[in-house]
Structure 1
Amino acid sequence: MPTLVRAIHEGQALSELRHQAAVDPLRGRIIGRFTSGFYARIRDQIFAAAGPLIWPGPIHLIAEQVPELAAEAGEVWLTATRLHYPGGTVDIASAAPYTPAIPTAEQLRAAAPLLVQWADMAGPPEDLATCWEPVLAAIDNEDIAGAALILQGRGIGLTPSGDDVLAGLLLFARWSGVPQAVLTPIAERAETSDLSRAFLRWAARGQSIAPIHALIISSSSSAERSERFNRAAKIVCQVGHRSGAALMTGLGIAAQSWAA
Structure 2
Amino acid sequence: MRSLEVITRCGLTLGPSGDGVVHSSFRQALNFRLDGELFSLLGQGQALAPAGMIVGGRPDFTRFAPGVRVLLTADEIVVAGQPFSLRAAAVASTAIADHGPPDERRISELAAVLSQWLSRDPPAHGWFDSLHDEASPYAPAVRRGWLALQAAVRAGDEDALVRACSGLVGLGPGLTPSGDDFLLGMFLVLHWRAPALGARILAQAAHGASTTDVSQAMLRRALQGYASLLYLAVLDPGTDLESALARAGAFGHSSGHDCLCGMLFAVQHG
TM-score surpassing 0.5? yes
Runs of at least 4 residues off by over 6 Å: none
Q: Secondary structure at the match of 1:203?
A: helix
Distance of 2:149 and 2:201 partners within structure 1: 17
- 1:33 paired to 2:25: yes
1:186–1:94 CA distance, 2 compared to 1 (3 A): farther
1:211 to 221, 230, 240: 230
- 1:160 paired to 2:177: yes
- 1:88 paired to 2:87: no
User: RMSD over aligned Cα, in angstroms?
Assistant: 2.6
Q: CA offset at residue 165 of structure 1?
A: 0.3
- Give the aligned partner of residue 204 of structure 2: 186
Distance of 1:230 and 1:111 partners within structure 2: 12
Distance of 1:182 and 1:153 partners within structure 2: 18
Distance of 1:110 and 1:174 partners within structure 2: 17
Identity among equivalent pairs (%): 23
1:147 to 151, 157, 164: 164
Does the 8 Å contact 2:169/2:205 carry over to 1?
A: no
Distance of 1:181 and 1:257 partners within structure 2: 16
- Give the aligned partner of residue 8 of structure 1: 7
Encode CA deviations 1:101-133: one digit per residue, 9 max, x unaligned: 52545x242222333344533365214234212
- 1:252 paired to 2:268: no
Q: CA offset at residue 153 of structure 1?
A: 0.2
Q: Secondary structure at the match of 2:93?
A: coil
1:37–1:231 CA distance, 2 compared to 1 (3 A): closer
1:181–1:251 CA distance, 2 compared to 1 (3 A): closer
Aligned AA (2:185): G
Encode CA deviations 1:138-189: one digit per residue, 9 max, x unaligned: 4553455323312100012321100100111222222335258646632432
1:118–1:150 CA distance, 2 compared to 1 (3 A): farther
Q: Secondary structure at the match of 1:214?
A: helix
Aligned pairs for 1:193-232 within 5 A: 193-217=212-236, 219=237, 228-232=240-244
Does the 8 Å contact 1:9/1:63 carry over to 2?
A: yes
Structure 1, unpaired ranges of 5+? 222-227
- Give the aligned partner of residue 151 of structure 2: 137
1:245–1:184 CA distance, 2 compared to 1 (3 A): closer
Distance of 2:157 and 2:113 partners within structure 1: 22
1:234–1:160 CA distance, 2 compared to 1 (3 A): same
Does the 8 Å contact 2:8/2:90 carry over to 1?
A: yes
Does the 8 Å contact 1:154/1:162 carry over to 2?
A: yes
Structure 2, unpaired ranges of 5+? 120-126, 131-137
Please identify, of 245-254 and 202-211, the stretch whose mean Cα deviation from structure 2 is larger: 202-211
Q: Secondary structure at the match of 2:167?
A: helix
- Give the aligned partner of residue 173 of structure 1: 190
Aligned AA (1:197): Q
